[in-house]
Every structure is written in structure tokens, then in C-alpha cells.
Amino acid sequence: MASNRGASTLDIILLGPPGAGKGTQAQRLQAKRGMIQLSTGDMLREAVAKGTPVGIKAKVVMEAGELVSDAIVSALIGERLDTAAAHGAIFDGFPRTEHQADALEILLGERGRKLDHVIELVVDEEALVERITGRFTCATCGAPYHDRFHVPQVAGTCDACGGHEFKRRPDDNEQTVRTRMAEYRAKTAPILPLYEAKGLVRRVDGMLTVEQVAAAIDAILDG
């Protein structure tokens, strides 16, 4: 299929363990550059909320902190990939296994696209437990916040949309977070060497402030 893309259109992966800041940075890139955030976690949570067959299967797995099947998440990405054709995709939480990495390469190749960067957010896992257990989002627009690190400018009001309802994820408790981290180490971290061999990996210190991490990512994308 012919691609309909500008010369500066980029497809990138944000890779890092739970709480590394993938979603925060993906939303910023989407707002600033018009790129499209493709978060398999968000897609699965939407399916769970709607009670679709995929959501019913995924709910128990997600609440245990384990990985949903490769076939399900690869299909979700395949369904949405064309929405990011013109402005580029930010893959957030995908791929998470070698199978998913292979599936992504095929899906992009079928559309005349290829990955431009794999940006690894390098973080201290212990600090992430505090990040995740303090996290909450706007129930209306999904803007991310944190009890200590990023509170709304006006208490109880979303900076982005003015909404007043906020929510927390059921898998953001310490025990589930530890399982999610173990899954990351066992199944996701091993895909990094595959991307390193292709010269795609760029590293960013994910323990810096949100703004500093954003600046480092911008420097990579503009480089």
C-alpha cells in the first residue's frame, strides 16, 4: 500500500517498565506534535470498561499484572495503526514480547513504514512503586496526575479539560505493580537487544523531571 506521509513523520516506541513515564510523554508528544499515541493498555482498559469479549478475557489478566495474549494486543494495534499514518505513531506499552515486536515489524512493513526510534526510559524500579501508587487520571480526558509529583493547578479541577472527576487504576497497588515489573524484566526487556542490533535504541534518563525527559525526547526526534 502506498504511504501518505510527510518526510518528517516518525514512528517511535516508548519502552520502559510500569510507571517509567511512557503514557505521560506519549500524551505530550500527541499534544505538541500531532503524533498519535497507540497505548495497548488504554485500548485494553477501554475494552474492559465496555465489557467486550476481549475486555472480559483481559480483565483478570490485567488485574493480576500479567501480560494479555500476543494475538489480542497485536490485533488491537493492527486495527488502529492507520489512524497514525499521516502524523506518526507513538507505541506506548507495545511491543512487550519478541512476538509482538515481530508483529509490529510486519504491520508497519505492510504499510510501507518502519520504526524510526526505540526510546528507552531508564528508571529506578523502587522509585516507580511510589510513582505508580500515587497516580491518578482525569476521568473525562485521561490527563495524568500524581499525588506528589504532578497535582492539578487548581485542586479538584483537571488542567486539560476542566473536569472534576478523577480515577485510579485497579492494577496500581504495590503487589500487582511488582508482578508487572517482573513481567517487564522477563518478557519485555529481552526485546531491547533486538532493537539495539538494528541501531534503533536511544536512552533517556526517566528519573529526571517530566519536562527534562520531554526535552531529551524532543532532542532525539529533532536530531
- Write the DSSP symbol of residue 80: H
Active site residue 96: yes
Instruction: Say what the alpha-carbon torsion angle 123, 102, 89, 168 is, to the nearest 10 degrees.
Output: -50
The reply on whether position 221 binds ligand AP5 by CB under 6 A is no
Question: Exactly one of 107, 210, 220, 221 binds ligand AP5 (CB under 6 A); which one?
Answer: 210
The nearer residue to ligand AP5, 83 or 209, going by C-beta atoms, is 209
Three-state secondary structure call for residue 173: coil
Per the CB < 8 A criterion, the answer to whether 97 and 189 are in contact is no
The reply on whether position 60 binds ligand AP5 by CB under 6 A is no
The reply on whether position 142 binds ligand AP5 by CB under 6 A is no
Question: Exactly one of 29, 81, 101, 213 binds ligand AP5 (CB under 6 A); which one?
Answer: 213
Q: 92, 108, 94: which is closest to 5 by C-alpha?
A: 108
CB of 99 to ligand AP5, least distance (A): 9
Burial of residue 60 (CB within 10 Å: 0-12, 13-18, 19+) is: exposed
Question: Exactly one of 13, 15, 35, 62 binds ligand AP5 (CB under 6 A); which one?
Answer: 62
Three-state secondary structure call for residue 69: coil
The identity of residue 116, as a single letter, is: D
Active-site annotation, residues:
22, 96, 135, 169, 180
Q: Which residues bind ligand AP5 (CB under 6 A)?
A: 16, 18-24, 40-41, 44, 61-62, 65-68, 73, 93-94, 96, 100, 131-132, 135, 144-146, 149-150, 180, 208-210, 213
